[in-house]
């Protein structure tokens, strides 16, 4: 459903590639966990997939179309993004908008839905993440865990084909981490297609269908979760799991 092929990426100020040829694929309904030491390029990969960064080379296949990631047009980027959700490590809610308005924004403006309909969907999504009673709150008056759940509702409301999560709980205290992971587990059981960069090994073990282990800009191992955690093929993956 979503596939990227030989993605390479380096940043302006260095010649070394941060991504050195990544091939990676998600099927519909799958939950893929991407793990790996910090600096291995996990964030950069998600940002290239959502075109927040421009890859130097590579192709993306999504919803039946294939695009060159370097030469893709703005219109096509927009089209791809309209079918993708993204949840950031630090939430990135719109600070001048309430929880409800945050969730509605993508519906009423880019998708031109009428306000009543958008409001119903937004409220439904806020209920789904357990925040039906916080609809009128501004981000500044929500805890980190609540903000992240609003961010998840904002992504969900747009009914994307896939949602990309970049360490959604890394900025949260342990007790707030739980409430966010609970929501994500529920989405997984409902069949939401998700790509989750995470350091939560328990979550990966329990929820992911597949685990992708990255290090130094390459995918070291890509295996079904059970296989990965019980009998990793690569010594480096085994090492990484042991240290966690």
Partner 1 sequence: MSERLFEILLTSFPQLLEAAVRVTIPVTLGAFLLSVVLGVLLAVVQVADIKVLKQLSQIYIWIFRGTPVIVQLFIIFFGLPYVGIIIDAIPAAIIGFGLNLAAYNAESIRAAILSVPKGQTEAAYLVGLTYPQLMRRIVLPQAIRVAFPSLWNNLISLVKDTSLAASITVAEMFTRAQQVAARTYEPLAMYLEAAFIYLIICTILTWLQHVIEYKMAWEKPDGNRRKNIVC
Ligand X SMILES: Nc1ncnc2c1ncn2[C@@H]1O[C@H](COP(=O)(O)OP(=O)(O)O)[C@@H](O)[C@H]1O
Binding site for partner 1 (CB under 8 A): 50, 52, 78, 81-82, 84-86, 88, 90-98, 100-101, 104-106, 108-111, 115, 119, 136-138, 140-141, 151, 154, 158
Which one, 39 or 110, has the nearer CB to ligand X?
39
- Closest contact distance (angstroms) between CB of 43 and Mg ion is 3
25-84: which residues touch Mg ion (CB under 5 A)? Answer: 43
Binding partner selected for residue 40 from Mg ion, partner 1, ligand X, none, CB under the kind-specific 5 to 8 Å limit: ligand X
Question: Contact between 192 and Mg ion (CB under 5 A)?
Answer: no
Binding partner selected for residue 189 from Mg ion, ligand X, partner 1, none, CB under the kind-specific 5 to 8 Å limit: none
Interface with ligand X (CB under 6 A): 11, 13, 18, 36, 38-44
Instruction: Kindly report the number of other CB atoms within 10 A of residue 23's CB atom.
Output: 14
Question: Contact between 169 and Mg ion (CB under 5 A)?
Answer: no
Binding partner selected for residue 82 from ligand X, partner 1, Mg ion, none, CB under the kind-specific 5 to 8 Å limit: partner 1
Kindly state the tokens that stand for 114: 């009428």
- Closest contact distance (angstroms) between CB of 18 and ligand X is 4
Instruction: Kindly report the number of other CB atoms within 10 A of residue 94's CB atom.
Output: 13
209-228: which residues touch Mg ion (CB under 5 A)? Answer: none
- Closest contact distance (angstroms) between CB of 133 and ligand X is 34
164, β-bridge pairs: 86, 195
- Closest contact distance (angstroms) between CB of 137 and partner 1 is 7
Q: How many residues bind Mg ion (CB under 5 A)?
A: 1
- Closest contact distance (angstroms) between CB of 230 and ligand X is 24
Angle at 9 between CA 8 and CA 14, to 5 degrees: 135
Binding partner selected for residue 90 from Mg ion, partner 1, ligand X, none, CB under the kind-specific 5 to 8 Å limit: partner 1
Cα atoms found within 13 Å of the Cα of residue 179, Cβ hemisphere only: 17
Which one, 136 or 202, has the nearer CB to partner 1?
136
- Closest contact distance (angstroms) between CB of 118 and Mg ion is 32
- Catalog residues that contact Mg ion under the rule CB under 5 A: 43
């Amino acid at each position: 459903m979503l596939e990227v092929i030989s993605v390479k990426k380096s940043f302006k100020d260095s010649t070394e590639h941060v991504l050195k040829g990544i091939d990676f694929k998600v099927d519909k309904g799958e939950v893929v966990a991407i793990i790996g030491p910090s600096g291995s390029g996990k964030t950069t990969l998600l940002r290239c997939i959502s075109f927040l960064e421009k890859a130097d080379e590579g192709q993306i296949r999504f919803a039946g179309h294939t695009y060159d990631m370097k030469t893709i047009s703005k219109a096509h980027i927009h089209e791809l993004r309209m079918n993708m959700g993204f949840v950031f490590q630090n939430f990135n809610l719109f600070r001048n908008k309430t929880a409800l308005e945050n969730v509605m924004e993508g519906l009423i403006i880019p998708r031109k839905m009428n306000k009543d309909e958008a409001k119903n969907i937004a409220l439904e999504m806020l209920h789904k993440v357990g925040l039906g009673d916080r609809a009128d709150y501004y981000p500044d008056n929500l805890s980190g865990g609540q903000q992240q759940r609003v961010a998840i509702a904002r992504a969900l409301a747009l009914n994307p084909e896939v949602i990309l999560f970049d360490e959604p709980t890394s900025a949260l205290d342990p007790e707030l981490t739980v409430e966010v992971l609970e929501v994500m587990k529920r989405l997984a059981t409902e069949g939401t297609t998700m790509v989750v960069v995470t350091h939560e090994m328990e979550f990966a073990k329990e929820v992911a269908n597949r685990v992708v282990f990255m290090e130094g800009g390459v995918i070291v191992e890509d295996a079904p979760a059970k296989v990965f955690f019980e009998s990793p093929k690569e010594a480096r993956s085994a090492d990484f799991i042991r240290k966690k």
